[in-house]
Amino acid sequence: MKIYIFFNGDFYPEKTPLLSILDRGLCFGDGLFELIRCIKGRFLLFSKHIKRMRDSATFLEIPFPYGENELLNAAKELTRRNKIKDGELYIEITRGEAPRYHQFPKKTEPNFFLVLNPLREMPEECWARGVKVITFPDIRWGYCHLKTINLLPNVLAKEMAKNSNAYEAFFTREDKKGTYLTEGSSSSIFAIKNGFLMTSELDNILPGTTRAAVIEIAMKRKISVKETRLYLKEFIESDEAFLTSTVSEVMPVIKINDRLIASGMIGDLTLKLQSEYKKFIKEHLEW
Ligand code: PMP
């Protein structure tokens, strides 16, 4: 079957050569991306993802060429053309093509594309039994709140996780009190201790859409939420732990490096949030 992509306003078969080698995304990583779940042909938290991307583009002075409705229509058209109902929609914007100088010209036409693929396959038992994670030093820069396409540290961290038979790598930074966890290479981090739900504060990390949803769900259920500096030592001693992302949803974490968390058992609150998030998904599909 032919897979189509959307590029700068038109639809093309996916392997059509479209980008110039002078594209600043390619040369400098000068661009942004989003990944959105497509469920039963509809899109989860579409407007939140587009807002995050638009705000970051404004910050980087990349003109954002489309309105939300235009993008939703393009995404819908991809579900039709590609015959995909459950998938992942990848969106990328780059500053566009320009002679290769670091400083950017005031005016470039951004390149903008959407790719809709079937949802990647993940074993159900990850959600049922929990996963192992490893730690990896947070060697990234100071603007991690922007979802830029500069992902080499994340790529190296995930590769290390794969080579350690782990599901994810959690980035670590150091302060006077010790080692703390910031976020996963493509996920946000949560721990539960004495009934408190804790997650890394928004201090140079990506404000995850799933993270925000889980916080909202917890607050509605009167669970106390603390956005805080999450120290590795506390994480290991927590009663329950999980990670969140668009693809992983609420994924229990039972081991970090070689330390079991709560004897490797998935906690009740994690299970509750897992099922509440499933309900939340159904209520937040857009089109
Ligand atoms: N942190 C990073 C570094 C990520 O790449 C992702 C995945 N986009 C997340 C957190 C989770 O974000 P979301 O819940 O919006 O998928």
pLDDT in tens, 167-211: 999 999 999 999 999 999 999 999 999 999 999 999 999 999 999
CA-nearest residue, atom 6 of ligand 1: 186
* pTM of the predicted model over 0.95: yes
**Contact (Cβ atoms closer than 8 angstroms) between residue 133 and residue 126:** no
The CB density around residue 114, as the number of other CB atoms within 10 Å, is 21
Q: Are residues 145 and 223 in the same domain?
A: yes
Distance (angstroms) between ligand 1 centre and the Cα of 68 equals 20
The reply to whether 94 and 197 lie within a common domain is no
CATH code, domain with 251:
3.20.10.10
**In this structure, what CATH number is given to the domain that contains residue 53?**
3.30.470.10
Q: How far apart are CA 16 and CA 68, in angstroms?
A: 25
Mean pLDDT of the chain: 97
Of 118, 133, 157, which marks where a domain is finished? 118
Q: How many domains does the chain have?
A: 2
Q: Are residues 8 and 74 in the same domain?
A: yes
Closest CA to ligand 1's atom 3: 186
Domain span at residue 167 reads 125-286
What is the DSSP annotation of 178-239?
Answer: EEEEEEESSSEEEEEETTEEEEE-SSSS---HHHHHHHHHHHHTT--EEEE-EEHHHHHT-S
210-222 pLDDT, tens digit each: 999 999 999 999 9
Q: Residue 110's Cα: distance from chain center in Å?
A: 22
Q: Which of 132, 147, 158, 255 is catalytic?
A: 147
Report CA(196)–ligand 1 centroid distance (Å).
22
Neighbours of 256 (CB within 10 A): 21
117-133: per-residue pLDDT in tens?
Answer: 999 998 999 999 999 99
Looking at the structure, do residues 181 and 97 belong to the same domain, yes or no? no
The yes-or-no answer on residue 147 being catalytic is yes
Q: Are residues 268 and 195 in the same domain?
A: yes
Q: How far apart are CA 184 and CA 228, in angstroms?
A: 16
- Supply the residue whose CA is at minimum distance from atom 5 of ligand 1: 186
- Give every CB contact of residue 237 below 8 A, 6+ residues apart in sequence: 193
Same domain, 214 and 75: no
Residue 2 has what pLDDT?
Answer: 85
Spatial CA neighbour of 269 closest among 204, 212, 217? 217
